[in-house]
Amino acid sequence: MNSNAIAADSLQPFQRAVTQDMVAAYADISGDRNPIHLDASFAAGTEFGGIVAHGMLLYGFMCDAMRRAHPGPWESTGRMRARFRDPARPGDVVTVTGTLSGAGAAGAEGDTTFRYSLECTESDGRVLATGNAEVTIRSHESSAGEQSMESEERGVDE
Amino acid sequence: MTSKPTLADITSGFEFRPILVDVSVERVQEYLGVLQATPLDSNARLVPSEAAITFALGALLDQYDLPAGTVHTTQDVRVERPLRLGTKVMCTARVSNRSHRGEMAVILLEISLTTHRDSNEVAMVGTSTLLIQQPS
């Protein structure tokens, strides 16, 4: 295993309050203006009974947990597989947690791939989304390595 | 006024028209701001994959409407090659499978982001699962 690779047993947990303003802003930046996210009267008639946040909002929260832990390597080697289980709604407070689920040698000598299991949960205990993430730490960089270091090694698309 | 076709109309094997996606620093910062996520620091050079895939999905919605009530159930994104902030990438996508679950169509959408230059190297690949209400 790469002696420079550092991975904590758990990711630093954090919370995000989901608001209608946040959902509306996400609709604008993503281009997904499905009325289930924006129109209360429409959403009331759906199986959800009201407005729900985009699943990709939760995806972004989980990716942020990975970026915080592995800035640089996340952008250059990261993978996130997420399942959206129960929608977040405006007013929910989402807690994002993650634990290290495994580590192993990656392709190149000395490189290490770390695997994490992540969850987004609401304060009432509902599991909103789960994720499985991977990130590879190259032998020449630490977990918090500068992006410029890895970019020079791997080549950055311009 | 012409309306866009909807994702409910497309079939397995359908390929979207390739479209350029802008991953500018400003756009990525705005995305991270909406999520209240860790902002880009002054040394940042690379695009977080979550931002790139969000913009790519949005670009596809420029071509096809998402039927009201569509539910996104899974998302997988893998970085193949780091992508520099401020570039444009080519987004290609195809429907790799379409099945049915009750009154809903289950669409598996495969997305690829390639660098927009001669080499056309794949930067990121993703798979989305969407549940779409069938037209009655």
- Please write the tens of the pLDDT for every residue from A48-97: 999 999 999 999 999 999 999 999 999 999 999 999 999 999 999 999 99
State CA B127 to chain mean position distance: 9
pLDDT at site A40: 96
ipTM over 0.95 threshold: no
Distance between B119 CA and the closest CA of chain A, angstroms: 10
pLDDT tens by residue, A17-36: 999 999 999 999 999 999 99
Tens of pLDDT, residue by residue, chain B (136 residues): 457 788 888 899 999 999 999 999 999 999 999 999 999 988 889 999 999 999 999 999 888 888 888 899 999 999 999 999 998 899 999 999 999 988 889 999 999 999 866 577 899 999 999 999 876 6
Q: Which residue of A has its CA nearest to B36?
A: A16
More confident residue, A153 or B56: B56
Rounded to 10°, the helix B25-34/B49-61 angle is 100
Least Cα separation, residue A56 to chain B (angstroms) = 8
- Burial label, A149 (beta-carbon count in 10 A; 0-12, 13-18, 19+): middle
Contact A64 B66 (CB under 8 A): no
Please indicate if any CB of chain A lies within 8 Å of the CB of B88: no
Whether the pLDDT of residue A38 is over 90: the answer is: yes
- DSSP-assigned states of every residue in A63-102: HHHHHHHSTTHHHHH-EEEEEE-S---TT-EEEEEEEEEE
Of B62, B73, B82, the CB nearest to A76: B82
B7-133 — its CATH code?
A: 3.10.129.10
* Cβ pair A81:B37 closer than 8 A: no
* CB atoms inside a 10 Å sphere around CB B59: 20
- Gap from B10 CA to chain A (nearest CA, Å): 18
Output the pLDDT for position B130.
95
Alpha carbon distance A56, A75 (integer Å): 17
pLDDT in the model for residue B88: 87
Distance from CA of A136 to the nearest CA of B (A): 11
Quote the pLDDT of residue B118.
58
Q: Decide if pLDDT at A2 tops 70.
A: no
How much is the pLDDT for A149?
A: 38
**Which chain B positions have a beta carbon within 8 Å of A35's beta carbon?**
68
Please tell me if residue B79 touches chain A, with a CB cutoff of 8 Å: yes
CA A86 to chain centre: 16
| pLDDT reading at A6 higher than 90 | no
Which residues in chain B touch residue A53, judged by CB atoms under 8 angstroms apart?
none
- pLDDT at site B54: 97
Is A156's CB within 8 Å of B82's CB? yes
Instruction: Enumerate residues 11 to 30 of chain B having a beta carbon within 8 A of any beta carbon in chain A.
Output: 27, 30
